[in-house]
Amino acid sequence: MRGRCVHNAVPVLVILLIMWTAGGAFAADPVVTSVGVRGNEQVASGYILGVVETKIGDALDRDRLQQDIEAIYNQGFFSFVDVDLSTVSDGVSVVYSVRENPVVEDIAFTGNTIYKSETLMKEVFTQTGNVFNRVFFRNDLDRIQDKYHRDGYVMVRVADVNIQGGRIEVQIVEPRVGEIIIQGNKKTKTKVIRREIKLKRGDIFNVIRFRHQLGKIQSLGYFEDVNVGFDTPEGRDDVLDLILTVKEKKTASIGINVGYGTETGISGGITFTEANFGGLGHQFDIGFDEGDEARYWATYASPYMDRRTYGWRVGVNYYDYVDQYYYHRGRKQFEYDEVNFSVFAGLGKKFGREEEWSWFFTLNWRDVDYSNVHEAIPNALDDLTMWGGVNFSGELRFSLDRRDPYVSYAKGWVWDTTFEQAVQVAGGEYDYLKYWTQLRYYMPLNGLLSDVIDIDSMWTEDNPLILAARVRVGSSTASDLPAFARYSLGGMSTLRGYHSRTFEGRDVLLGNVELRVPVQKNFSLVGFYDIGNAGNNMDWDEFHDNYGLGLRVKTPMGQIRLDFAMGGDENRTYFGFGEMF
């Protein structure tokens, strides 16, 4: 801090020596007969003398006088403090001499671009018209710097304060990103890592955003470790170079699974996955499951997309299901076999200033055959086998993602709307339009409950109690849809208390609510309630619901999900990965 805020106090020892050596004027230390102050115009004398230890009637003490000078100066209002001693008949008079700092006329900021000066002034308690106090103003500067730091600008600092008369000029340095150096990657292309770092040269460094971007890089699954270092070029304290060092790991894996279901019997299969094919960030997945529900699949995708980069995926699926259950309005009608072969290709991109919007268009070609209807109940409704054949459709989805990207948990909402049009080309036998929309909402409850219960001892800021909800509604222009294209409810991803595809039709309405309760860092409980219906002539008053409890465990393989649901005619238990929505 430059200007007049310099301690110019003159030692009083010379005066005392003169007094003591002038022919023995005092046989002992003189007694203080009065204590005063002069030179102050704005600051009250009583305020100044309130920090003085020298009192009337005390013996004069050289060390105490020096401490008084320091105490007055440390009040912050003065650029000069001294003491004058005068000999009187019965002792000595002590008068402290001060020179006040200038009266504040104006406070100006330079170098600030993140916040306007008006915003920074809200953190300043020093007001124009008052005597400048360097102690108070230092606290003002601390509050300004704390504001920057709370918002993630941890490298911003107050570089200098210049005082000229009553004008105070505060110089702020907001370091900007210089070079971004990525090292340690041998397989992964540098551009694949670099595109996850949204900071670019010339941007003001923000640690909150950068930490989120590092999290995105770590969640890719390509690296064992990701470290970051910082460097400042010589002579440039306003530039910050970022040095990102990664340690790669194997991204190819083979999975073997064996399972048993009361309805599907014994099943098992093998999956090969390459999460970083060619170091390009592409994903390749191929595998099969054998059993009553036999599946074979292969997909190749580039999931990353932004305003400049298209995401895409292509794939093929083949299902061969034996002894499947067909339900109508919750009642089992018969068993059947199904062979389903499909090919798809999709392309998408993000848009909007914050890239919150995205679109994705997918072409689907499917050939379905239903056969071997058996174990039918009396007067069973066969609303299935006439719907085999080829279907060719295009599906367009728009999404708006307003979740907070800078926290480690779900917070905010996601809205998406999808249109699917089937056409009678490329062998397609059907013509219909389906359309549905869905809203997912996530609300942390810590703030709402903090006045009711002791939140800090139960749920942390990084792992809060969350209320999650989903609503989905859909319909179609067709009076009836092919069986493979109908909306369906039931199973672990919709109505958890019912068999999959228990309710089907051209219309759907579904609601899900979950209360996600952290117990430990990697362990949480979930209470849930599901309600909905699907049908052709759906009675909107006739809804089906279920409720239950779930368990979530975070593991190196991902989050394990276990749900126990009570609904319909029986209770059901589901095992899977991730959240339902």
Query: What's the pLDDT score for residue 297?
Result: 97
Q: What is the pLDDT of residues 520-566, one digit of tens each?
A: 888 999 999 999 999 988 776 789 999 999 999 988 767 889 999 99
What is the model's pTM? Answer: 0.77
Alpha carbon of residue 285 to chain centroid: 30
Burial class (CB in 10 A: 0-12, 13-18, 19+), 38: exposed
Query: What's the pLDDT score for residue 261?
Result: 53
Mean pLDDT of 22-41: 77
What share of the chain in percent tops pLDDT 90? 72
Mean pLDDT of 464-474: 96
Does residue 6 register a pLDDT over 70? no
Q: Minimal CA–CA distance to 375: which of 428, 327, 426?
A: 327
Q: What is the pLDDT of residues 90-149, one digit of tens each?
A: 899 999 999 999 999 999 999 999 999 999 999 999 999 999 999 999 999 999 999 999
The whole-angstrom separation of Cα 295 and Cα 253 is 19
Asked if residue 120 lies in contact with residue 144, where contact means CB atoms within 8 angstroms, the answer is yes
């052709």: which residue's tokens? 536
Does residue 267 register a pLDDT over 90? no
Q: Tell me the two tokens of residue 83.
A: 């003491």
């480690």: which residue's tokens? 408
Query: What's the pLDDT score for residue 16?
Result: 46
Rg of the Cα atoms in the chain: 38
Q: Tell the CATH superfamily of the 13-100 domain.
A: membrane protein fhac (3.10.20.310)
- Matching CATH number, 106-173, of 3.30.1490.20, 3.90.1150.10, 3.10.20.310, 3.40.50.880: 3.10.20.310
What share of the chain in percent tops pLDDT 70? 92
- Quick one: pLDDT band at residue 263, thresholds 50, 70, 90? low
Q: What is the pLDDT of residues 505-524, one digit of tens each?
A: 999 999 999 999 998 888 99
Asked if residue 195 lies in contact with residue 184, where contact means CB atoms within 8 angstroms, the answer is no
Query: What's the pLDDT score for residue 17?
Result: 39
Q: Minimal CA–CA distance to 132: which of 109, 105, 102?
A: 102
Q: Tell the CATH superfamily of the 176-248 domain.
A: membrane protein fhac (3.10.20.310)
- DSSP β-bridge partners for residue 46: none
Query: What's the pLDDT score for residue 11?
Result: 45
The whole-angstrom separation of Cα 83 and Cα 12 is 7
Query: What's the pLDDT score for residue 265?
Result: 59
Backbone region of residue 53 per phi and psi (left: phi > 0; alpha: psi in -120 to 50; beta: other values): alpha
Query: What's the pLDDT score for residue 10?
Result: 38
Q: Are strands 432-444 and 265-277 parallel, antiparallel or unpaired?
A: unpaired
Neighbour tally for 252: CB within 10 Å: 11
Does residue 80 register a pLDDT over 90? yes
DSSP state of 484: G
Q: Which of 224-228, 400-404, 575-579 has the lowest mean pLDDT?
A: 575-579
Neighbour tally for 477: CB within 10 Å: 12
- Quick one: pLDDT band at residue 258, thresholds 50, 70, 90? confident
Query: What's the pLDDT score for residue 8?
Result: 42
Query: What's the pLDDT score for residue 148?
Result: 96
Mean pLDDT of 165-186: 95
The whole-angstrom separation of Cα 533 and Cα 506 is 11
Mean pLDDT of 46-69: 95
Asked if residue 503 lies in contact with residue 537, where contact means CB atoms within 8 angstroms, the answer is no
Alpha carbon of residue 156 to chain centroid: 22
* Topology (CATH level 3) of domain 304-577: Porin (2.40.160)
Q: What is the pLDDT of residues 366-376, one digit of tens each?
A: 999 999 999 99
- Quick one: pLDDT band at residue 458, thresholds 50, 70, 90? low
The domains of the chain are located at: 13-100, 106-173, 176-248, 250-290, 304-577
What are the phi and psi torsion angles at 480 (to 5°)? -150, 145
Query: What's the pLDDT score for residue 15?
Result: 46
SS3 per-residue string spanning 240-287: EEEEEEEEECCCEEEEEEEEEECCCEEEEEEEEEEEEECCCCEEEEEE
Q: Minimal CA–CA distance to 306: which of 346, 354, 361?
A: 354
Same fold, 176-248 and 304-577: no
The whole-angstrom separation of Cα 170 and Cα 145 is 12
Q: Minimal CA–CA distance to 414: which of 442, 433, 393?
A: 442
Query: What's the pLDDT score for residue 559?
Result: 86
- Quick one: pLDDT band at residue 571, thresholds 50, 70, 90? confident
The whole-angstrom separation of Cα 410 and Cα 357 is 18
Mean pLDDT of 483-489: 93
Task: Name the strand (E) or helix (H) holding 508.
Answer: strand 507-520
Q: What is the pLDDT of residues 411-426, one digit of tens each?
A: 999 999 999 999 999 8
Q: What is the pLDDT of residues 226-240, one digit of tens each?
A: 999 999 988 888 999
Q: What is the pLDDT of residues 199-235, one digit of tens each?
A: 999 999 999 889 989 989 998 989 999 999 999 988 8
Mean pLDDT of 478-484: 91
Query: What's the pLDDT score for residue 499?
Result: 84
Task: Return the biggest CA–CA distance within the chain.
Answer: 133
What are the phi and psi torsion angles at 47 (to 5°)? -65, -40
Query: What's the pLDDT score for residue 337?
Result: 95
What does the DSSP assignment read for 52-78? ----TTSBP-HHHHHHHHHHHHTTSSE
- Quick one: pLDDT band at residue 9, thresholds 50, 70, 90? very low
Backbone region of residue 570 per phi and psi (left: phi > 0; alpha: psi in -120 to 50; beta: other values): beta
